[in-house]
Structure 1
């Protein structure tokens, strides 16, 4: 499976998005800390984190015996620039053109 497919598959699950939101609020959390935010077993959270790691949305770092989880925003940024931005910029350009026309009409009155 391609990485982009893994990213979209990971983002399709509400529990995984919740984990990413929690890491956005406080990066570098342990499994125990992350489990406090979800109403599911530790094993289920571990499985979701594994999917997020596989999609490169979460990076891990060991500090002593603690495994810390960090949000990796780069894949989401790539999605934004590849798909979302091009549609968003079209709308912003249309609004800017409308503003210019309204300002010209106001000057001509």
Structure 2
């Protein structure tokens, strides 16, 4: 579920509190969880959030940059869920969607 709490100063709504990375660019898209609750975020954090949530979706903002939602969707495919968490990544739930497809021979 996407938490709609305000982000720390200088960070977009899609930035996870434990993710140490800075925003990249302006708020460009909205990421919504499977129930429809969503937040607006920069492309960088939106991709990380999309990769970490099952059933999430990304939609462009009316005043966002052209192609931002496609870039976020594409980046999320290769981003591991909760990628800022250290440790071994071997299980399907810990790998990116692309890595799981490659493992399955697709």
TM-score band w.r.t. shorter chain = under 0.3
Q: Which has the larger radius of gyration?
A: 1
Q: What TM-score do the two structures reach when normalised by structure 1? A: 0.25
The structure that is helix-richer by fraction is: 1
Q: What TM-score do the two structures reach when normalised by structure 2? A: 0.25
